[in-house]
Amino acid sequence: MTPFGQAVRKLRERKGVTQKQMAAALNVSPAYLSALEHGKRGLPTFDLLQRIAGYFNIIWDEAEELFLLARVSDPRIVIDTSGLSAEYTAFANLLAGRIRDLDPAILSQLTAVLENGEKADGKRS
């Protein structure tokens, strides 16, 4: 499941509607909505994001957060290492090959390093 999928599921549960009901209101198939929630489909269109926000009648700040979550929830990302040294390409490929096996604690540590801009020695870059 993606962060966007989790957010949509929480909104659905808060409103007390099923995927089928929501899909009908948004004019999408229940299968598509399920796949979107479970991270088995790419990013929704901006139009669909707007319809989702309207469907839940969420305020602008909450809608903006939902849109941001959608942007970081693409389950089929591409990492462009062209022009970088071979180490970067090797790292990207290693991560792609092992991401499903990462221990959650290691994932949290890697996330913290990337979000905080820390170098391997623990100092901020």
pLDDT, tens only, 55-77:
999 988 889 999 999 988 877 78
Kindly give the interhelix angle for 46-56 and 3-15, rounded to the nearest 10 degrees: 30
CA dihedral of residues 36, 39, 45, 51 (deg, nearest 10): 40
Mean pLDDT calculated for residue range 70-97: 89
5-59 pLDDT, tens digit per residue, is: 999 999 999 999 999 999 999 999 999 999 998 888 888 899 999 999 999 999 8
Give span(s): CATH 1.10.260.40, the chain. 3-71
With a threshold of 0.75, does the pTM exceed it?
Answer: no
- 78 vs 10, which has greater pLDDT? 10
For residue 120, pLDDT over 80 is answered with: no
Length of the chain, please?
125
Q: Which fold has domain 3-71?
A: 434 Repressor (Amino-terminal Domain) (1.10.260)
pLDDT value at residue 73: 85
Task: Give 14: exposed, middle or buried? Use CB within 10 Å, 0-12, 13-18, 19+.
Answer: exposed
Q: Measure the CA–CA gap between 83 and 104, rounded to whole angstroms.
A: 31
